[in-house]
Every structure is written in structure tokens, then in C-alpha cells.
């Protein structure tokens, strides 16, 4: 059986043929496009499932977009054609359900000019080396670099990154041994939870609070998001218990 990633890659390849003729003689970036907005929307709405190096996203549930288009670009597929493919997949994704997790790309995560902006950005940067420059370099703040979270009054709060990136607000946390509530606030709209290795987890929430109670022992323990693909994408950190 083909994996969802492979089937999605084949869908992209097939869609490319449909759009090939439409791509002739047209610039990948059009007058109304806002690439900064496109990058921000991609990171917030798509990055939890897709890897795109220039955007700094590491999602593993959907296909790696750099890999998905690299060979097609080598074979002469134009970036304007890629734009059309991406735009079509945003609005009308194929049924790519991963039946082991129930994960499926929903249609119309972004619409209108927002969808055009995302498609333009992805088409411009997919499979390109290097890093974004100028305004694009600063469009999305690097997640996970906050100060260590420190337990207070029996609660340790480690929030999800509000931009939708696969990260918590910090990669480091500190708490005393003993009974404690582990709490995560999620404002991103991307489903997340918070879990400790071997010590329980909170419910998955798209917006709201995930929390649970546990008893900590001295040492180091990993905290992470248990939603499929999120820990693999970098959503984890280390809790030091003293």
C-alpha cells in the first residue's frame, strides 16, 4: 500500500501535467501577491504537516514540498506550473487520509488572495538552497527560543507557539520534584497537546488549554506534543526536575 506521502507526491506529479500549459509565459509572482503574507500563512496553516526548508517548517504528516518538486524542477517543470499545482491542492486536496492516524488535509485552509500568496511563496522557494532574505527573512519569528519555563505555585506552563510552528515557547523547563500540574495554552489553531515521557499527557486542543497532573521525580525528562508528526517536527524540550 502506498503511504500518504507517496500518494500525495503522485497527485502532485499528475496535477503538474494538468497545469503545464497554463504556466507558459506567466511570472510566478504576480502584482497582487504578498510573499511575506504567504510565508506567514504557510507556516501557520501548512507547516505543521509539511517540510519546506526556506520556511523553516518540519512537518512530517504530509509530503516534504522540497522533495516533492525537486525532480520535477530538474526535468524542466516551471515554477509557475508549481504555483498552479499548489493552489489547486490548497483548495481541492485529494483524499490523502492516513488511516493509521485519521489525518487528512482539509480543503481551503486558506482562500482568496491568501491562497494565492501561499502558492506564490511555495512555488518561489521550493527546493531552493540558502535562506530567505530581506523582509522574508524576518517574516516569521523563530519558534522555541524563549526563556526556560519555571514552575510556580504547583503549575508548570509551557505554551504552544502561537504562530502554528511545531514548537513550544521554549525548549527548556524547570520544576521541583513532587505533585504538579503541567499546562499548555494553545492559541495557534493547530491541534496540540503536551506530554511527558512516561508521566502522562493532556488532551489535544486546537485552541484552549491542555493540562494534566503528575508527580515528578528528580532528573531530566522530555516534554513533547504527541500529535502524530509534531514531535518529529521538533515539538519537544527538556524538563529538569530538582
In a domain, 107, yes or no: yes
Same domain? 106 vs 21: yes
List of the chain residues with pLDDT < 70: 1-26, 95-103
Q: Are residues 196 and 93 in the same domain?
A: no
Q: Residue 94: give the domain boundaries.
A: 4-137
Residues 75 and 120 in one domain: yes
DSSP code for 6: H
First to last CA, the chain: 48
Query: 131 and 198 share a domain?
Result: no
What is the spatial distance between Cα 33 and Cα 82, in angstroms, rounded to a whole number? 15
The model's pLDDT over 94-129, given as tens digits with 9 standing for 90+, comes to 755 444 444 578 899 999 999 999 999 999 999 999
Q: Which of 96, 111, 137 is the last residue of a domain?
A: 137
- Supply the pLDDT for residue 95: 55
> What local confidence, expressed as pLDDT, does residue 26 receive?
60
Burial (CB count <10 Å: 0-12, 13-18, 19+), residue 93: middle
**Residues 98 and 176 both lie in one domain:** no
In a shared domain, residues 12 and 116: yes
**Total domain count, the chain:** 2
Q: Are residues 27 and 131 in the same domain?
A: yes
pLDDT digits (tens, 9 = 90+) for 18-28: 344 334 446 89
Instruction: Provide the CATH number for the domain around residue 54.
Output: 1.10.760.10
pLDDT for the residue 54: 96
| Predicted local distance difference test score (pLDDT) of residue 61 | 85
In a domain, 143, yes or no: no
- What's the confidence (pLDDT) of residue 210? 98
**Cα gap 153→49, rounded to integer Å:** 36
Assigned domain for 101 exists: yes
Exposed e or buried b per residue across 135-148, where buried means at least 16 C-beta atoms within 10 angstroms of its C-beta: ebeebbeebbeeee
**154 and 184 fall within a common domain:** yes
Residues 172 and 74 in one domain: no
Residues 116 and 25 in one domain: yes
**CA-based Rg of the chain, rounded to a whole angstrom?**
20
Residues 153 and 132 in one domain: no
CATH number at residue 163: 2.60.40.420
Residue 129 sits in the same domain as residue 221: no
pLDDT for residue 103? 53
pLDDT tens string 28-40:
999 999 999 999 9
Query: Among 108, 137, 166, where does a domain finish?
Result: 137
- Residues forming a β-bridge with 148: none
Which residue among 110, 137, 164 closes a domain? Answer: 137
Amino acid at each position: 500500500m502506498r503511504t500518504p506521502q507517496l500518494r500525495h507526491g503522485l497527485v502532485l506529479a499528475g496535477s503538474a501535467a494538468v497545469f503545464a500549459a497554463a504556466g507558459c509565459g506567466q511570472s510566478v509572482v504576480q502584482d497582487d501577491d504578498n510573499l511575506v503574507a504567504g510565508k506567514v500563512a504557510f507556516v501557520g496553516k501548512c507547516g505543521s504537516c509539511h517540510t519546506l526548508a526556506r520556511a523553516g517548517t518540519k512537518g512530517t504528516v504530509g509530503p516534504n514540498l522540497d522533495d516533492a518538486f525537486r525532480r520535477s524542477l530538474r526535468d524542466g517543470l516551471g515554477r509557475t506550473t508549481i504555483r498552479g499545482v499548489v493552489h489547486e491542492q490548497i483548495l481541492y486536496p485529494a483524499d490523502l487520509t492516513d488511516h493509521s492516524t485519521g489525518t487528512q488535509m482539509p480543503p481551503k485552509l486558506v482562500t482568496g488572495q491568501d491562497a494565492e500568496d501561499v502558492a506564490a511563496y511555495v512555488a518561489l522557494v521550493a527546493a531552493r538552497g540558502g535562506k530567505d532574505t530581506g523582509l522574508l527573512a524576518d517574516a516569521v519569528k523563530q519558534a522555541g527560543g524563549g526563556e526556560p519555563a519555571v514552575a510556580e505555585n504547583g503549575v508548570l506552563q509551557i505554551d504552544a507557539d502561537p504562530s502554528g510552528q511545531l514548537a513550544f515557547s521554549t525548549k527548556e523547563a524547570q520544576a521541583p520534584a513532587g505533585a504538579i500540574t503541567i499546562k499548555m495554552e494553545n492559541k495557534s489553531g493547530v491541534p496540540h497537546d503536551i506530554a511527558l515521557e512516561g508521566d502522562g499527557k493532556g488532551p489535544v486542543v486546537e485552541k484552549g488549554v491542555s493540562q494534566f497532573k503528575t508527580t515528578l521525580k528528580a532528573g531530566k525528562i522530555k516534554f513533547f506534543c504527541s500529535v502524530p508528526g509534531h514531535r518529529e517536527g521538533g515539538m519537544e524540550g527538556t524538563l529538569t526536575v530538582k
